[in-house]
């Protein structure tokens, strides 16, 4: 006879996606009707905040065009089948209002709700996880996950932790540290030199430049009709390319740039983080449509990839940049996938200091690490970046024939996140 405890365990196992197929690459690669799969994805061009091609495009318009862009990838899908729209965004004011309006304007019926999620730079991945978790629990069968950030319109403000919290915990106070300061602490604590950071950033630009010139990004980008303001007049321009890549970047040129956070240099030393070896402030969006494999097959939709799992970790806020070095092993342990079985690690380059450290700490070879450049070159639109990493990684898999993609990012206030996808293209 089954005891109540055994019955609860059995029921819980049905709700745990890890038990559907088991652990290990062979297990997570199996195809089941209940799988969460990606049927469409894409991104806008990533444009320099304040001076790039999207600076005059309002946030709600950018959200609208992002949603329309991904819906356009599967015109045979009736928008009425989408049961939730979840958008990652970090700092755009009144985002929840604008996301709801953008979804309605994109043709998604009013019966479909919307949600804005914010876990800093992982917000795009949290949007994916939110939709995937709803599908896995049976709450919905199809949802749209997106990430959009218009940094050109961010308010120029910094957080201030109340003295009551700061006195209670140094780590609480550290949550208000400028991100550049945390980069300096990673550089100092883990011996990542200025030369290493400049060399890494140069490689990011060079790889992104080569990828753009070869047309590798063309398939992942959907065109955006950008607003262009001249005085009181507004005109429109179609954008199809990222505009932050510096095609002539070299480590030697980057070495001439002054440190951006000299006040955080180690006593007797020099600061290492510069505007050249850190990610750019950026406007942009990315999105995907997820559903059960059963639904995708019934609708005869092409399956791009299987979503497997997400892992999130916490760490000391002052060295938040090393978050991927904790989140990635946690993800691999969760799924049972071995590091050597991953075809590419697409890691957000918030700063070169953390990107260098993560690659070293995890022993990831160059040929499996940000192979088409990263945020140093393409930029870092906070709420959108994590989802852009997925788009970029799966596009790389389609081109190379690879299968296993891990994406990861550090997260403000001392966190890290990572996600695993199996390409089926």
Active site residue 121: yes
- Which is catalytic among the residues 150, 154, 205, 380? 380
Active site residue 47: no
Active site residue 112: no
- Which is catalytic among the residues 47, 121, 142, 376? 121
Instruction: Tell me if residue 59 falls in helix, strand or coil.
Output: helix
Q: Which residue is associated with the tokens 């006593």?
A: 267
Catalytic residues: 121, 380, 410
């Amino acid at each position: 006879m089954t005891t109540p405890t055994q019955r609860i365990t059995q029921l819980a196992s049905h709700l745990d996606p890890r038990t559907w197929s088991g652990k290990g690459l062979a297990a997570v690669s199996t195809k089941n009707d209940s799988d969460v799969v990606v049927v469409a994805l894409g991104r806008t061009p990533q444009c320099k905040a304040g001076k790039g091609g999207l600076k005059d495009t309002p946030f709600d318009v950018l959200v609208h065009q992002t949603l329309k862009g991904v819906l356009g990838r599967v015109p045979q899908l009736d928008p009425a089948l989408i049961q939730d729209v979840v958008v990652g965004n970090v700092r755009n004011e009144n985002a929840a209002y604008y996301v709801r309006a953008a979804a309605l304007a994109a043709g998604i019926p009013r019966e479909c709700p919307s949600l804005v999620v914010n876990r800093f730079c992982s917000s795009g991945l949290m949007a994916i996880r939110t939709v995937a978790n709803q599908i896995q629990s049976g709450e919905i069968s199809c949802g749209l996950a997106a990430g959009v950030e218009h940094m050109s319109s961010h308010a120029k403000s910094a957080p201030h932790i109340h003295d009551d919290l700061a006195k209670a915990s140094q780590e609480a106070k550290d949550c208000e540290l400028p991100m550049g300061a945390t980069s300096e602490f990673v550089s100092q604590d883990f011996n990542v030199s200025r030369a290493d950071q400049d060399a890494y950033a140069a490689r990011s630009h060079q790889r992104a430049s080569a990828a753009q010139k070869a047309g590798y990004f063309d398939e992942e980008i959907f065109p955006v009709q950008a607003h262009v303001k001249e005085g009181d007049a507004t005109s429109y321009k179609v954008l199809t390319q990222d505009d932050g890549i510096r095609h002539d970047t070299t480590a030697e040129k980057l070495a001439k740039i002054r440190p951006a956070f000299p006040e955080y240099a180690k006593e007797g030393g020099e600061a290492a983080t510069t505007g050249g070896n850190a990610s750019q402030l950026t406007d942009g969006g990315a999105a995907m449509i997820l559903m059960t494999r059963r639904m995708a097959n019934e609708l005869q939709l092409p399956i791009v990839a299987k979503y497997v799992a997400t892992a999130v970790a916490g760490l000391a806020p002052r060295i938040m940049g090393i978050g991927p070095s904790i989140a990635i092993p946690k993800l691999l342990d969760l799924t049972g996938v071995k590091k050597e079985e991953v075809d590419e690690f697409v890691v957000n380059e918030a700063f070169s200091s953390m990107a260098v450290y993560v690659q070293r700490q995890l022993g990831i070879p160059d040929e499996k690490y940000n192979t088409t450049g990263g945020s140093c070159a393409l930029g870092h639109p906070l709420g959108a970046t994590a989802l852009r990493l997925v788009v970029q990684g799966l596009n790389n898999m389609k081109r190379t024939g690879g299968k296993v993609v891990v994406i990861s990012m550090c997260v403000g206030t001392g966190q890290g996140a990572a996600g695993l996808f199996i390409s089926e293209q």
